[in-house]
Amino acid sequence: MYIYLVSFENTEKRLLFAVAKNVKETFGFDVRVSWVAAPFKYAYNAQRKQYIAERVVDYLSTLNYPRLVRMLAILSSDLYAGDLEFVFGFGTKRDAVVSTFRLWSTEERLFFERVFKVVNLTLGKTFGLDYCKDHKCVMHPYFSLTDMDAKAKSFCTYCKTKLEATLSQLTL
Ligand SMILES: [Zn+2]
């Protein structure tokens, strides 16, 4: 079983491979990585210059591969969902999308850490986790980069236990 990590734009290879490593370490699945150069117009709002999260996920849901656990798209463009001005990440049961657009820092380590946090939270949700009260937990909600930088990329004991229970059922 594996998680499919796909970039629809020219996301930096180093970042994509670093995300793949983080996902493997955090969720324990193999990760496959793929690039699709052209952004798909159906999911893009040209006026807002943002991708529409629901449509990205809709598109992902049409792609089926044997033994696929989750599909995660990484975008370097901005992303929104519903009435929200923007979202960092968005997911349903199997498919999710994360935008790196608002996570940028000139310090690469910090930039990558932010992407890992959004990826872990977004994938965590697809595995049934909810927002968490523990400020250090990656499932703790955040509304700014300052909040995001204050939390860890890992799960608190409560969320980790819950996640492991879900994952162990999946891998049976
Ligand atoms: Zn937690």
Q: What domains sit in the chain, N to C, each tagged with a CATH number?
A: 2-170 (3.40.390.10)
Distance from residue 140's CA to the centre of ligand 1 (Å): 7
- pLDDT over 70 (residue 56): yes
Give the pLDDT band of residue 42 (cuts 50, 70, 90): confident
Distance from residue 139's CA to the centre of ligand 1 (Å): 5
Give the pLDDT band of residue 54 (cuts 50, 70, 90): very high
| E strand map for the chain | 2-7, 30-35, 44-45, 50-52, 68-75, 78-80, 89-91, 95-99
Distance from residue 87's CA to the centre of ligand 1 (Å): 20
Distance from residue 132's CA to the centre of ligand 1 (Å): 5
Give the pLDDT band of residue 35 (cuts 50, 70, 90): confident
Distance from residue 156's CA to the centre of ligand 1 (Å): 4
| pLDDT tens-digit series, residues 117-158 | 999 999 999 999 999 999 999 999 988 999 999 999 999 999
**pTM: predicted TM-score of the whole model, two decimal places:** 0.95
